[in-house]
Amino acid sequence: MFSAIVKIHQKRCDYCGFSSFSHNGHYVSRVTYLTANASEPVYLELHKERLICKNCGRSFMVTSDIVDKNCCISKATRQKILMNLQDDRTQTSIAIDAGVSSSTICRYLDNYDDLFRRNLNYLPVHLAMDEFRGVGGKLHFICINGNGVHESQQILPDRYKNSIIEYFKQFPESVRARVKTVTVDLNSYYQDIAKLMFPNAKIVIDRFHIIAMITRAFNQSRVQTMKKYNKQSAEYRTLKFSWRLYLKSAENLDEKQLFYDRHLRKQLNN
């Protein structure tokens, strides 16, 4: 605990312009500050001087650059919390490290966009959008800079079409017109959003989803063909247990190296 007296230098009353004040005591506040060891938190006990105008009776209290008015968490601690929220860490570990409560971390996380307001005059030229499963199994919308940087542009609490459209409507039409490509999966309403919000952008289907769709179709055909044979036959065992080889590129198949296949009970190569 560190104690300090913060004095006020008020020459004139902000309300009546009178230049005479009387001392009105101190307001004591305890401010959470940065610490190198989470087990030994650092607090600042600030004795803030108060004055009262002799003419109009209005009171004044000193402010400090260390902490915002009506707040007990220092600006440096808040900045540290906001930087940690960008990392892959739990809210509890951030709270312990910063010497604050978990509810404070939740409040800062909820107000993240208010503290760091997005630039509504900028959108990536190459935009990619998708959804991911968050806490409690709920699906969230995410859009990123698809130009190799993969920097997160925005995360929305849901993936509803109206919510996504309302978000992109915040950007002027001229900004949205500069987007050249929008990369999406096979979700149809993402393509509808891209056509509506980005009139000059080309829609690109993510190749991962195309390959995944082809792989699923191939495996379904393999299983259907496999079921036509007896379970003890060589054809059935070949189709069932060697499925990894069917998904490999021909260039990665080894024609010389032999191995013993325990399912077919003989020496084989790829």
Kindly list the domain boundaries of the chain, sorted by start residue. Answer: 2-72, 78-115, 126-205, 221-268
What pLDDT, in 10s, does the model give residues 50-102? Answer: 888 888 888 888 888 888 888 888 888 888 887 787 777 788 888 888 888 88
Helix axes 91-98, 102-110, angle to 10 degrees: 110
pLDDT for the residue 267: 83
Provide mean pLDDT across the span 171-199: 91
Provide mean pLDDT across the span 250-258: 83
Burial of 66 (0-12, 13-18, 19+ CB in 10 A): middle
The mean of the pLDDT values for the chain is 84
pLDDT for the residue 142: 87
CB half-sphere exposure, 212, CA atoms < 13 A: 7
CATH T-level fold of 126-205? Nucleotidyltransferase; domain 5 (3.30.420)
* 268: nearest Cα among 232, 247, 243, 257: 257
Whole-structure pTM value? 0.51
Dist. CA 182–CA 203, nearest whole Å: 5
| Banded model confidence at residue 224, pLDDT cuts 50, 70, 90 | very high
- Cα dist from 198 to 123, 131, 169, 180, whole Å: 11, 19, 10, 8
The two structure tokens encoding residue 217: 């179709």
Provide mean pLDDT across the span 193-222: 91
Beta partners for residue 142, in sequence order: 130, 155
- Is it the case that residue 225 has pLDDT exceeding 90? yes
- Is it the case that residue 127 has pLDDT exceeding 60? yes
- Is it the case that residue 113 has pLDDT exceeding 70? no
Helix (H, G, I), strand (E, B) or coil at 60: strand
Which range in 34-43, 92-101, 141-150, 171-180 is most confidently predicted, on average pLDDT?
171-180
Q: Which residue has the higher pLDDT, 82 or 162?
A: 162
Weakest mean pLDDT among 63-67, 87-91, 167-171, 183-187: 87-91
pLDDT for the residue 100: 87
| Banded model confidence at residue 114, pLDDT cuts 50, 70, 90 | low
pLDDT for the residue 25: 85
- Is it the case that residue 112 has pLDDT exceeding 70? no
C-beta of residue 87 within 8 angstroms of C-beta of residue 44: no
